[in-house]
Structure formats: structure tokens, C-alpha cells
Structure 1
């Protein structure tokens, strides 16, 4: 699989994602790496168009694509299980995106942790109330998923800043 062609997709075709694909994404997510295998993540799979529309207003900017997405996965973390719940939920969110790509789907990470609605309500509180999420869980993000209605070129070497790569110690820019 050429991961250089995986791009963030914000426009989706109006096509329901097959249940077997949703299940494959969830199966992969449920065994995602986590510190000490604590698996502090839980998920809410949203396909209901009305709920997706309401989720699209969960922050000031950057969530509007949810209104036209056929699927969203809300990623929740339990900080009582581990102090690395944010990292573990970030890993699982990336796994969800990579598995979606492998299945021919596009996706977009929608950051909600630490964000606010246009009315100043925390995105987490807004989503918690909308989806009936218990207080012991935190909302890290939402991943929108769907069949792409846009195409983007693959990344090339020109897109990569290799000056950010160091070898053996900071400041060593070659591996010789």
C-alpha cells in the first residue's frame, strides 16, 4: 500500500459504507497499540444523518464536513486507565484512518479536545451532551470517513522537509 497517496479527505460521496468495512475498521481499532495494552479507548460509530449534522457544529471551524459524511467515529479515552490516554487515542485514530484508506475510503481527523463551539461551549461538553457520553470518558477527536468525492495528488519528495530528520543525535543530518 502506498501511504504517500493517503490524503485528508473532507468531501464524500453520498454512499453508505458497507457494514463489513465498518467492522474491519473497528476490528483493527480495537487491537490498536496502547501503553501496557491498557486500551483506554472506546468508540461511538455515528451514521445517523441528523446526528452527523449536529456534530458538524461541535467546534468553530473544521468539523463542517461531518454534515455530508456517511460515517464518523468519535474516539473516547478513559484517563482512569492510564495517563497516556491521549497518546493511545491518537494512535488508534491514526490506525482508523490508515485502515479506512486501505479499504478505499477517505478520512479526516477532527480535533475536538481543547476546542470550542462558536457559542464558546467546549466541544467535549457539546459532544458529551449530544451523544450521552459518561463523565469518566473524554472526547479526543472525531474521524470522518467516506468514499472520496475529491482527489488529491500523492505526496512527493518535494513535500518532505528532510531537514527535520537527524541521525544518532540532534544536528547530525546524514546517516554516514
Structure 2
């Protein structure tokens, strides 16, 4: 897996006790673009309640020019309060809710799927990122760090 310095780290205290269905990170800038994360500690949009769900979202998209697009590859790493890695998402994404994949790239010797985010599909992520039981058994109940690594690729004409 291509390793590089995280683009963003998002801390959720007592995530397993949060009454909220959705937890949104602050906006961050990576690759010259504004982003945020949407975490669903008790499952996401499809009412999957036994998995942690996580999505990368384009921020301030109503302020972007008509026809905007962002081509990105990314992965998430979930860490406990001791910085122990609990889970790392695969760069070869699970099948999306709506397929918008434009192919693959070779990054650091690995084939990595690239995703284009645009006005019709401004987010991408994992409905079933990690089983909640895996997080809880490995000491992730009190504090959960989400480390996000983004890699931006040149967007060619579609």
C-alpha cells in the first residue's frame, strides 16, 4: 500500500457512546481542494448497524465552478488512542453505491483505483468499512483516530 504522510487526522472521543448517527469532521485542505469526512459510528446510509461507515466528501461544492471534478485515490486508517492501527481500508474499493470508477493507476508499485468526484457524486467511501466488533475488541471504544491519506491525480478529459 502506498504510504505517505496523512493528509488529515480526525479524532472522535468516545465514539461508541455517541448518540449521533453521523459525525462530520472539520473541513481540511489537501491537494488544493477542501474536503471533510462523514463518519457513521453506528452504520451509514443503508442502515448497516454492525459496521463503521466512512466517506470522503468534497466541501463547499456549491461554491465550485460549473463542471468541477476531482480525481483522487485515498485510503483510511483507523487507530486507537495508543496509535495502534486497528484497520486500514483497501485501496481497491468495494463496489460503490453508484459506480463511477475511471480506471486504475500505478502508484508506488501498486495498482490503485482512482475515483472522480463531481457535482453528481460529491462523496466516496465505505458503507461497511470495518466491523464494529473489530474496533471494540482492539481498544477503540474511548478514542478513535481516523487517518486519511489522499493522492491526487491529473484529471484528463473524459
Structure number with higher strand proportion: 2
TM-score w.r.t. length of structure 1: 0.33
Q: Which has the higher contact order (CA 8 A, sep 6+)?
A: 2
Higher helix residue share: 1
